[in-house]
Amino acid sequence: MYKLLIFDWDGTIIDSASRIVSSMQAAARDCDFYVPTDDEVRNIIGLGLPEAIRILIPGVTDQGITQMRERYGHYYLGEDSTPTPLFPGARSSLESMHAKGMRMAVATGKSRRGLGRAFADTGLGFVFETSRCADETTSKPDPHMLEEILAETGVSPAEALMIGDTEYDLDMGKRAGMDVIAVSYGAHHLDRLKGYNPVLEVHNFPELEKWLDNQSVFA
C-alpha cells in the first residue's frame, strides 16, 4: 500500500512538549508579552513559529514576532535544559525500519536549524531520505511541504502515509490526499485526531513497526 512514511518530529518522535512550553513562556516574559498557559502552548505545537506566536499573542506585530523567535530560539536551543527524550522504542524501531528498506521523511514545524540540531543530538538523521521545515516552505496544515516531499521522492499521495500527533499533521496529510496515522501520546488528545479518520491509532513505535511489517510494499 505505501512507499513512503512521513513523520512529524515534535510529539511524534521526540518528547519535546515540556521544553517547547517552558521556552515559549520564557520568551514571552522576556518580551513583556502575555505569558500563555501550558495548554495554550501545547495546542500550537506543530505549527511554524510565526504562526504559533500569532495565535498565542493576538495582535502581535512583525517586530514582536521577530523578538519572540529570537528569545524562543535562545531558550529552546540553549538556555532551557528541559529534557527532550526520544519516545520509547523510537530509536530501535526507526533504525530497524530503515534497515528493512522503508523509505522515510520528516515534515515538521521546526526550523531547519532546529531540525538539524535534533538530527545531530539524536543521531537519527541518516534514517530519513528527506525533510521539510516550516521556515523553508508553508506551515502546517497547508499541504505544501508534503507536496514538495512527494515531488522530490517521486511518490504519489496514495502511496504515502503521514504520521503525527496533532490535528495540524493529520489535516495536512488529508489535504495532500494521503492516509494518516494518529499517535496517541503527543500534544493533542487522541479524541481530537479521530475525526481525520486515521487508518491506524498507534500508542508506541513497536506497535507501528509491527503494523507496517504487514504492509506488503515493505516485504
Phi first, then psi: what are they for 95, rounded to 5°?
A: -65, -40
One domain, residues 10 and 31? no
The predicted structure's pLDDT at residue 112: 94
Predicted confidence band at 219 (pLDDT cuts at 50, 70, 90)? very low
Q: pTM of the predicted model, to two decimals? A: 0.92
Q: Which three cell numbers stand for residue 160?
A: 504515502
Q: Which three cell numbers stand for residue 186?
A: 503527543
One domain, residues 61 and 122? no
One domain, residues 69 and 124? no
What rounded mean pLDDT belongs to the chain?
95
One domain, residues 98 and 172? yes
CA distances from 64 to 71, 80, 192 (A): 11, 21, 31
Distance CA(34)–CA(215), nearest Å, equals 48
> SS3 for 132?
strand
Predicted confidence band at 132 (pLDDT cuts at 50, 70, 90)? very high
Q: Which of 188, 183, 194 is nearest to 7 (CA)?
A: 183
Strands 104-108 and 200-202: unpaired
Distance CA(100)–CA(186), nearest Å, equals 26
pLDDT surpasses 50 at 23:
yes
One domain, residues 69 and 165? no
Predicted confidence band at 148 (pLDDT cuts at 50, 70, 90)? very high
One domain, residues 75 and 147? no
- Structural domain of 146: 4-15+86-218
One domain, residues 98 and 120? yes
Distance CA(4)–CA(75), nearest Å, equals 34
Tens digits of per-residue pLDDT, 55-88?
999 999 999 999 999 999 999 989 989 999 999 9
One domain, residues 59 and 69? yes
51 in Cβ contact with 104 (< 8 Å): no
110 in Cβ contact with 116 (< 8 Å): no
Tens digits of per-residue pLDDT, 173-195?
999 999 999 999 999 999 999 99
Domain boundary among 30, 49, 79: 79
The predicted structure's pLDDT at residue 218: 54
Q: What is the CATH number of the domain that holds 66?
A: 1.10.150.240
The tally of domains found in the chain comes to 2
One domain, residues 10 and 24? no
One domain, residues 95 and 198? yes
Phi-psi map region of 68: left, alpha, beta (phi>0 left; psi -120 to 50 alpha): alpha
pLDDT surpasses 80 at 217:
no
The predicted structure's pLDDT at residue 216: 57
Share of the chain above pLDDT 90, in %: 93
One domain, residues 159 and 190? yes
